[in-house]
Structure 1
């Protein structure tokens, strides 16, 4: 049976690194993305360059109609999903809670919490032995912010990732007897474009020297952890969190 991985937010950063590593490891890969057509094409071309099978699907992973369409395309073009990586997320400008708008809070929770839950829902319907599937893996991309809280900066983002941690733990127990393992990685300061969304694109470079290891992480380092959790080498691992925070 072919290995098929769906990666939300898969066009760049941690998602793209995971897509490339998965393709090299023999997965058929679906790169889901929402806005950056050029980056999605570039990542897809890199995968095709070494002969792997992959597709890129533009869809809002927090909109159920679009998630349904995404999974139907994966079924038709790649085959039954065996691994889901919930990587798509957003962040906003640094702010105290009393300055946060309702719109910001709703967008944060819809993208960072509702989206992963919807994608898991439709992956479970295909992978769970309860529904006639053959099992599989779900890896949620959380953040060290979930245990640090990000005061005076992104309490809403930290709270959304705390919700992902609770979701990971609960879902892992719910699905343990149905052939699906559910785990999470919690990256810290990683050199990607993500912090540009917060208005501070150089955040990692400015703060990395304060980390115990003295540097920020690379997307490939997070991708390696995701691929390990998705693999049979982690067959006895579920409900587990791997911190990739450089000691933070």
Structure 2
């Protein structure tokens, strides 16, 4: 994956968890990284500091992904800093809260959809001019095992929003192929990150663990290889419209 050296990578939701692990992984391969965050500015700065320590450039860019103007500003700041965007990773997302459908409010629905689904559309739309002007590149969306199995307790809105991400990944792959932009997705299973610290009880996590053939909860860096592979033209130039599952065998489509 030598071709990642000098590439410019924008990762949304990169201050913690899977996004933070991916940012550090790209730094190890010589890529420059824009670390997007919403409220976790200090954590984002730590990630960027770690990336810079690897001898490459890193910036932090803050925005609420429910705000289209703020998203456009993030993309503009990344292009200003690096001159271009070669790889966009739409990783930002949240379950928001576990809630049965019968008591889910319109406000909860809007939040879940805007954070997980609409943000993918808006970030992609904003980054397209840079990707096109650079002669192509890679977009990697982050979906979830929940998109295939309906999600855990109280997570059906989240699962449905990730189903949208999985489907639009395939549509984007078709629409942008002529621009030499490959579009794929990574679908994590149960990964030990602040996401589950916030939304899952120890009992729920143990139940999830028992459903995983490999017998343990994944770590954030377990997803990094999939991002690196899909970002590398040398490794995956003929791969588009695909979803790579990283779930320890919990679901085998």
CA distance in 2 between partners of 1:93 and 1:110 (Å): 14
Describe the shift of the 1:246–1:55 C-alpha distance in structure 2 as closer, same or farther (beyond 3 A): same
Count of matched residue positions in the alignment of Structure 1 and Structure 2: 245
Alpha-carbon distance, 1:89 to partner: 0.2
CA distance in 1 between partners of 2:116 and 2:51 (Å): 27
List aligned pairs for 1:113-128, cutoff 5 A: 113-128=117-132
- SS at the partner of 2:89? strand
Residues 138 and 183 in structure 1, CA contact (< 8 A), matched pair in contact too:
yes
Q: Residues 164-186 of structure 1, C-alpha deviation per residue, up to 9 Å, x if partnerless?
A: 01110100000111110000011
Alpha-carbon distance, 1:44 to partner: 1.3
Residues 145 and 151 in structure 2, CA contact (< 8 A), matched pair in contact too:
no
- TM-score normalised according to structure 1 size: 0.94
Which residue does the alignment assign to 1:207? 208
Which residue does the alignment assign to 2:141? 140
- TM-score normalised according to structure 2 size: 0.92
Q: 1:236 aligns with which of 238, 242, 245?
A: 238
Describe the shift of the 1:120–1:106 C-alpha distance in structure 2 as closer, same or farther (beyond 3 A): same
List aligned pairs for 1:1-248, cutoff 5 A: 2-128=6-132, 132-150=133-151, 152-198=153-199, 200=201, 203-205=204-206, 207-232=208-233, 233-248=235-250
- SS at the partner of 1:88? coil
CA distance in 1 between partners of 2:179 and 2:82 (Å): 23
The answer for unaligned runs of 5 or more in structure 1 is none
Q: What is the CA RMSD across the aligned residues, in angstroms?
A: 1.6
Which of structure 1's runs of 4+ aligned residues deviate more than 4 A? none
- SS at the partner of 2:144? coil
Alpha-carbon distance, 1:47 to partner: 1.2
